[in-house]
Amino acid sequence: MDQTKRQPRRMGWRFAFLALLLAVGISGLVRSLWLDVYFIPSDSMEPGLEGGDRILVSRTDFHNEPIRRGDVVVFDGRGSFAPLNSGKGPVLDSVAAAGQWLGLTGSDTTYVKRVIGLPGDTVICCDADGKITVNGTALVEPYLFAGDKPSTRVFTAVVPEGRLWLLGDHRSVSADSRSLLGAPGGGMVPLARVIGRPVQIIWPLDRFAAIPRPLAAGPTTEDGP
């Protein structure tokens, strides 16, 4: 008699466990193919993205339309930007890894920056007006952090095929492609390392908002520079 009373309880736990496994599996599939959640740990992309923001990133936007100048991208920085984190190894412990999976903590190898130079572009700082130029044309950058100059560092960068030149919007605090001039790879990020495009701020709730894609600031990667 006791055995028949306990059986429904065991079945209930099994059903709950299987339902949890299914939910985790579906979530993992969605996040690997379509949408993922990332945590912004720094202020390098202010004012558009602030430290502490959680963002939803589309993995498919750039499948339908190629990356263009002015796009904000999330990318795997291993082999290009990861040297900026020298002294910090990859996150290995399970608690931190779970936090990254849930979008609660940052990653030592994942970055978010804005595309300034496409393959074949020549990016120069700066012209007589203090603006960055791409292929001789000055960039208009309404997304810059208030009071920041386009760059205080003088540079010339020629972007190889299959690579991107990336800068943060809060230039005075951003470690980006400028910081790796002279390093192996020169801060040029392979197109294949782009994970996706931020499409929505989902946390904190008072900043819940869509992240619009800017108008094209030049030719796309398909058209060439």
Q: What is the pLDDT of residues 24-61, one digit of tens each?
A: 444 444 444 458 999 998 899 999 999 999 999 999 98
Cβ atoms < 10 Å from Cβ of 80: 25
DSSP helix/strand/coil, 215: coil
| pLDDT over threshold 80, residue 223 | no
**75 or 223, higher pLDDT:** 75
Angstrom distance (rounded) from CA 13 to CA 21: 12
5 is catalytic: no
pLDDT band for 224, please (50, 70, 90 cuts).
Answer: very low
Question: Which is the catalytic residue, given 42, 80, 107, 113?
Answer: 113
Interacting residues of 73 by C-beta distance below 8 A, sequence separation 6+ = 62, 67, 112, 113, 114, 115, 164, 166, 194, 195, 196, 197
Q: Across the chain, what does the average pLDDT equal? A: 79
Residue 106's pLDDT is: 46
Angstrom distance (rounded) from CA 158 to CA 120: 7
Closest C-alpha among 53, 23, 28 to residue 205: 53
Question: Which is the catalytic residue, given 42, 44, 58, 151?
Answer: 44
Alpha carbons within 13 angstroms on the beta-carbon side of residue 127 total 12
Sequence-ordered alpha helix ranges (H) in the chain? 2-33, 61-64, 94-101
pLDDT tens readout for residues 101-144 = 444 444 578 999 999 999 999 999 999 999 999 999 999 999 99
The model's pTM: 0.76
| pLDDT over threshold 50, residue 145 | yes
113 is catalytic: yes
Angstrom distance (rounded) from CA 55 to CA 40: 8
Residue 9's pLDDT is: 57
pLDDT band for 63, please (50, 70, 90 cuts).
Answer: confident
34-210, superfamily in CATH?
Umud Fragment, subunit A (2.10.109.10)
